[in-house]
Amino acid sequence: MRTVFKTSYDADIRLFRHRAQGGWYALLGLLAIVMPWLVNTFWLGEATNMLIWAIAGMGLMVLVGQTGQASLGHAAFLAVGCYAHVLYQQKLGLPFILSFPLGGLTAALAGVAVAVPTARLHGIYLAIATLAVSVLMDDLIVLSEPLTNGVMGLYAPSIDIFGLQIDRYGNPYLFYWLVLVVAVLVVLIYRNIVRSPLGRAFAAVRDSEVSAKAMGVNVARAKAVSFGISAGITGLAGALMGQFAGIFNNETFNLLISIQLLLMIVIGGLGSVHGAFFGAIVVAILPQAIAITRDMVTGALGVGSVAIPGLETAIFGAILICVLLFEPAGIYGRWVKIRTYFELFPFYRRDMFRRQRSYLKTERMR
Amino acid sequence: MDVLQLVVSGLANGCVYGLIALGFVLIYKATEAVNFAQGDLMMLGAFVCLGLTNEQFLGLPFWLAVPLAIAIMGAFGYALEVTVIRRMFGQPQVAVIILTIALGFVLRFVAGLIWGNQPISLESPMAGTDVRLGGVVLGMDEIMVIAVTVLLTVLLYFYFNRTRLGVAMQAASQNQLAAYYMGIPVKRLNSLIWALSGMVAAVAGILFASKGSVDPSIGLLGIKAFAAAVIGGFGSLPGALLGGIIVGLIEPFSARYIAAGYSQVMAYLLLFLILVFRPNGILAQIHSKKV
């Protein structure tokens, strides 16, 4: 059992609650850095994929977890980030070090452009509007063929940072470290936003728009800023996704990716950096886990390999249903409960994390 | 004459969208849950009917299979509410949206396992017969779709305005707590609403299947129907049908008069514009909260 004595107001907003926590994260960071020496190229690629999904998840988390605005259209911002990043390189000849942040910035502007007209929408209406954005973006990419090469797609050029050639296949460990650096930067940005006045405004908007307004938060502005930051981070993830895939077209960023992204952060746990990472682990590991299990089952039964179409999404859906029914706070929420149990042992009580609302609170009145 | 044909086929499509949208709106009005799996319920309805009547499956007579399929889907909707949806009571709307999306994934997979992922067509008596009306060739299936939709709308209208249960459902959807105080069994009504919307989905599915072949991925049509529901005004039954018909009409006309690639764009563009300028739909039912 540990007791954290807070002796200053800063203790409430420190990145780590206590020294030991910082130590654990340092260990995790060290493990992430030495990963290329620990696993083979295949699993390093999977780890890279996981980190990219985690970045995208953090992008969406700013909007959904912190500001409480559901978006079913974040694949559109992945697409904007990716296309902008590659087109800046191809058409304007910008180097990676410029085109990558500019790609994110372009996505952020696109996010604000979506947020401003939809500022009056809540919950379900916002979700459907962003869903429309995602579908429209898909069609827009096909229709603006001279720029985006339509359904043929574009090739992501290999990365060149001051003469250092980074290629996903040539030197996967460099690409992994690049993604890791971006992921760590995004984590720092995310954490710092959340503990700044802006993050407080986001949380206020999430918990009650009426009270946020009463406390002097400009709700429309907070939403637009949140949309912008969220889309910007997602755009960075999109650019990395394009680099990871090598070739991409409108289908790479379809509506199902948007939905998967939202489902991912719900599985992980809304409202925390950890949730994005846990969700990304599920998304990245699940296809491999299914493939391995299938091989084991078919090997044990002695039958040839059978492919069941849609099995992956179905299992993903089933996991999600179970998470929503039995642990609405997600994987991270469950972890917090387990941790609290041991930290407070033997004083943990079942109702400590009980859900507050047990009745239907109408959202029809605004 | 071209225009008339486009109108009829657009109307027929629009009626199917409208019926799926009706399912959304029924559930939303009563429970404020948004059922993204409504399209998949429609798909399931189509497959259940198909599985009952087609030669390679059970081979029952068509007119026996239809009410049976509707009843099965009603029971399925009821069971779904009791086992899964009710546990989500009191959680934010978005959680229910996500749950039903996941449910859609699972339903699509199960349907693929049972009936296969290849497109199958329903062996209905209407398929392939044409009706000539003064130089215009109309498919019997299209006329059937429109007729059934009109009939169902009238039935639902009388159900909600003339029967005890219908009025109770209206009351529960307007103010759940007050309805509960009046002695209306709100929980059971919620289950019944899901059953009703499962039945409507079955009708929509059978109509859709009678117009062409079905495969598990037609559940994604639900997203378009969802757009239709929002265009018409979420929470208004006539609005859902109106929105469905608007979307159904926009598609063939924009494909014909603008360019083939634009048919989907126009529907969603309209949705986006409606949301921006009239966020509560054409027939709005949302009022602003007074603090």
**Tens of pLDDT, residues A100-158:** 999 999 999 999 999 888 877 777 788 888 888 888 888 888 888 888 887 788 888 88
Cα separation, B33 vs B87, whole angstroms: 12
**Helix, strand, coil percent content, chain A, rounded in steps of 5:** 70, 5, 25
Nearest CA in chain B to A115: B276
Averaged pLDDT for residues A164-173 = 81
Contact B32, B94 (CB under 8 A): no
With beta carbons under 8 A apart, name residues in chain B contacting A313: 105, 108-109
Q: How far is B142 from chain A (nearest CA, A)?
A: 28
Decide if pLDDT at B79 tops 90: yes
Given the cut 0.85, state whether the ipTM is greater than it.
no
Confidence of residue B282 (pLDDT cuts 50, 70, 90): low
pLDDT on residue A304: 59
pLDDT on residue B59: 78
Confidence of residue A363 (pLDDT cuts 50, 70, 90): low
Confidence of residue A305 (pLDDT cuts 50, 70, 90): low
Cα diameter, chain A: 67
Contact A60, A71 (CB under 8 A): yes
- How many CB pairs lie under 8 A apart between chains A and B? 149
Averaged pLDDT for residues A342-352 = 80
Sorted by sequence, the CB contacts under 8 Å of residue A7 that are 6+ apart come out as none
pLDDT on residue B175: 78
Question: Looking at the complex, does the CB of residue B235 fall below 8 Å from at least one CB of chain A?
Answer: yes
Please write the tens of the pLDDT for every residue from A245-272. 888 888 888 888 888 898 899 889 888 8
Q: Is the dihedral of CA B9, B13, B16, B17 positive or negative?
A: negative
**Are B110 and A355 an interchain contact pair (Cβ–Cβ within 8 Å)?**
no
**Are B286 and A321 an interchain contact pair (Cβ–Cβ within 8 Å)?**
no
pLDDT on residue A366: 41
**Residue A124 is which amino acid?**
I
Q: CA distances (Å), B69 to each of A2, A81, A251, B26, B78, in order?
A: 60, 47, 35, 20, 14
Cα separation, B225 vs B23, whole angstroms: 10
Nearest CA in chain B to A211: B291
Cα separation, A62 vs B49, whole angstroms: 45
Q: Which of the 8 DSSP states describes residue B266?
A: H
Q: How far is A127 from chain B (nearest CA, A)?
A: 8
Decide if pLDDT at A200 tops 70: yes
Contact A268, A60 (CB under 8 A): no
Which of B104, B112, B235 shows the shortest C-beta gap to A309? Answer: B112
In 3D space, the residue among B187, B233, B179 whose CA is nearest the CA of residue B28 turns out to be: B233
pLDDT on residue A51: 94
Average pLDDT, chain A: 86
Least confident of A114-123, A169-178, B121-130: B121-130
Contact B101, A259 (CB under 8 A): yes
Confidence of residue B241 (pLDDT cuts 50, 70, 90): confident
Least confident of A8-12, A221-225, B70-74, B246-250: A8-12
Confidence of residue B118 (pLDDT cuts 50, 70, 90): confident
The DSSP line for B81-106 is: HHHTGGGGTTS-HHHHHHHHHHHHHH
Averaged pLDDT for residues A210-227 = 91
Confidence of residue B286 (pLDDT cuts 50, 70, 90): low
pLDDT on residue A358: 46
Contact B282, B232 (CB under 8 A): yes
In 3D space, the residue among A32, A16, A30, A65 whose CA is nearest the CA of residue A267 turns out to be: A65
pLDDT on residue A187: 95
Q: Model-level pTM?
A: 0.87
Nearest CA in chain A to B280: A125
Nearest CA in chain A to B224: A132
Looking at per-residue pLDDT, the higher value among B216 and A277 belongs to A277
Please write the tens of the pLDDT for every residue from B47-73. 999 888 887 778 788 888 889 999 999
With beta carbons under 8 A apart, name residues in chain A contacting B112: 309-310
Contact B196, B41 (CB under 8 A): no
Confidence of residue B128 (pLDDT cuts 50, 70, 90): low
Q: Report chain B's C-alpha Rg in angstroms.
A: 19
Cα separation, B8 vs B268, whole angstroms: 21
Q: Which residue has the tokens 């259940």?
A: B48
Cα separation, A329 vs A338, whole angstroms: 13
Please write the tens of the pLDDT for every residue from B200-240. 999 999 888 888 788 888 877 888 888 888 888 777 788 88
**Are A360 and B32 an interchain contact pair (Cβ–Cβ within 8 Å)?**
yes
The two beta strands, B120-121 and B213-214, are antiparallel
pLDDT on residue B65: 87
The two beta strands, A247-248 and A154-155, are antiparallel
Confidence of residue B135 (pLDDT cuts 50, 70, 90): low
pLDDT on residue A306: 62
Averaged pLDDT for residues A167-172 = 80
Q: B130 pairs with which residues across the strands?
A: B139
pLDDT on residue B290: 44
Contact B217, B111 (CB under 8 A): no
Share of chain B above pLDDT 70, in %: 90
**Are A127 and B97 an interchain contact pair (Cβ–Cβ within 8 Å)?**
yes
Decide if pLDDT at A352 tops 80: no
Highest mean predicted confidence (pLDDT) among A49-53, A70-74, A140-144, B129-133: A49-53
Domain edges within chain B: 17-219
Contact B248, B197 (CB under 8 A): no
pLDDT on residue A362: 55
Averaged pLDDT for residues B133-152 = 79
pLDDT on residue A297: 81
Cα separation, B98 vs B37, whole angstroms: 10
The two beta strands, B120-121 and A154-155, are unpaired
Decide if pLDDT at B166 tops 90: no
pLDDT on residue B289: 46
Averaged pLDDT for residues A327-344 = 86
Residues recorded for chain B: 291
**Are B90 and A136 an interchain contact pair (Cβ–Cβ within 8 Å)?**
no
